[in-house]
């Protein structure tokens, strides 16, 4: 198991650090000289996962208000993006999406930016903490106008975040809870399980390497497809690396192929038009 410790940059974060330490059952760092694999650091800019220098990975933080998310929100191509086509987003239909493998919420954020309501499920407690922190900061930024680059509050971001709901759970257990625990409405179920890492290439971003090292491979993903097909109203969409096998070796109705990514679409019913 990786050695992960919690640090904070100012005394005002000591309570939050203690809460995180209790929740994740990871210690607060006391010996600055002891070796570690990762630090989970709380600072003015939120929660970050920082790998030890010898790993050569980049650090990870969830930042919906800035960086690549903000850029893609503005210039990503709207409903013309492959993910939008795969999920079936159109001017006439905004599916309610159940994302069974939320990760850092990137795909969910794109879909929510396009107008979909997205329920995100994440089972890894550290990934969930990073994502929950990202959601909370984005909501705060949108509400209070506290945006790091000094710009005013962002009502559009507030609307997007209001369409995103995060649940910490194993999706398989969540879907199998039974009639007393209704599942979130799911026109489309979305799946993007971790794929066994291919040989390290420059194409794999440094932060993705850290994420992969932390989460590992989702070797139980085949089971999720069968469960997803039971709850989706219209379709199940599975994101795979280009050239990868089909999940559970089950042939999709059709696929959308990109340079590095493929979307496998399992249709159940025609989308409303």
Ligand X SMILES: C[S@@+](CC[C@H](N)C(=O)[O-])C[C@H]1O[C@@H](n2cnc3c(N)ncnc32)[C@H](O)[C@@H]1O
Of the candidates 163, 232, 160, 162, the residue with the CA atom closest to the CA atom of residue 191 = 232
Among the listed residues 66, 37, 64, 31, the one whose alpha carbon sits nearest the alpha carbon of residue 49: 37
- Neighbouring C-beta atoms of residue 14, cutoff 10 Å: 12
Which of 11, 21, 70, 67 is CA-nearest to residue 43?
11
Determine whether 199 is exposed, middle or buried from the number of CB atoms within 10 Å of its CB (0-12, 13-18, 19+): exposed
Whichever of 120 and 147 has its CB closer to ligand X, that residue is: 120
Q: Is 165 in the site for ligand X (CB under 6 A)?
A: no
CA angle, residues 25, 121, 232, in degrees to nearest 5 = 155
Q: Does 192 contact ligand X by CB under 6 A? A: yes
Determine, following the binding rule CB under 6 A, whether residue 104 of this chain makes contact with ligand X.
yes
Q: Which of 124, 129, 141, 209 binds ligand X (CB under 6 A)?
A: 124
Q: x/- contact string, 200-239, with ligand X (CB under 6 A)?
A: ---------------x--x-----x---------------
Q: Which is nearer to ligand X, 29 or 123 (CB)?
A: 123
- Shortest approach of ligand X to residue 94 CB, angstroms? 19
Q: Is 193 in the site for ligand X (CB under 6 A)?
A: yes
Task: Tell me the angle at which helices 206-215 and 125-144 cross, rounded to the nearest 10 degrees.
Answer: 130
If the CB atoms of residues 7 and 171 are measured against ligand X, the closer one turns out to be 171
**123 binds ligand X, rule: CB under 6 A:** yes
Chain residues binding ligand X by CB under 6 A are 100-101, 103-107, 121-124, 127, 170-172, 192-194, 215, 218, 224
């Amino acid at each position: 198991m990786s050695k992960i410790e919690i640090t904070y940059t100012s005394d005002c974060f000591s309570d939050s650090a203690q809460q995180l330490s209790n929740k994740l059952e990871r210690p607060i760092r006391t010996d600055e000289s002891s070796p570690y694999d990762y630090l989970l650091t709380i600072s003015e800019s939120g929660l970050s996962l920082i790998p030890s220098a010898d790993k050569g990975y980049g650090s990870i933080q969830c930042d919906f208000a800035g960086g690549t998310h903000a850029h893609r929100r503005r210039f990503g191509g709207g409903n013309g993006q492959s993910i939008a086509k795969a999920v079936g987003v159109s001017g006439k239909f905004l599916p309610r999406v159940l994302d069974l493998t939320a990760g850092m919420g990137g795909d969910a954020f794109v879909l929510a930016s396009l107008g979909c309501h997205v329920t995100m499920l994440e089972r890894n407690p550290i990934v969930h903490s990073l994502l929950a922190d990202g959601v909370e900061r984005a909501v705060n930024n949108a509400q209070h106008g506290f945006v790091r680059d000094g710009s005013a509050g962002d009502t559009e971001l507030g609307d997007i975040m209001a369409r995103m709901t995060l649940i910490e759970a194993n999706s398989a257990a969540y879907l199998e809870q039974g009639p007393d625990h209704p599942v979130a409405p799911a026109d489309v179920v979305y799946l993007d399980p971790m794929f066994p890492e291919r040989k390290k290439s420059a194409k794999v971003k440094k932060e993705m390497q850290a994420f992969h090292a932390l989460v590992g491979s989702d070797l139980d993903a085949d089971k999720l497809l069968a469960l997803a097909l039971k709850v989706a109203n219209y379709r199940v969409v599975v994101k795979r690396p280009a050239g990868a096998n089909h999940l559970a070796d089950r042939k999709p109705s059709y696929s959308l192929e990109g340079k590095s990514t493929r979307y496998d679409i399992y249709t159940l019913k025609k989308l409303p038009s």
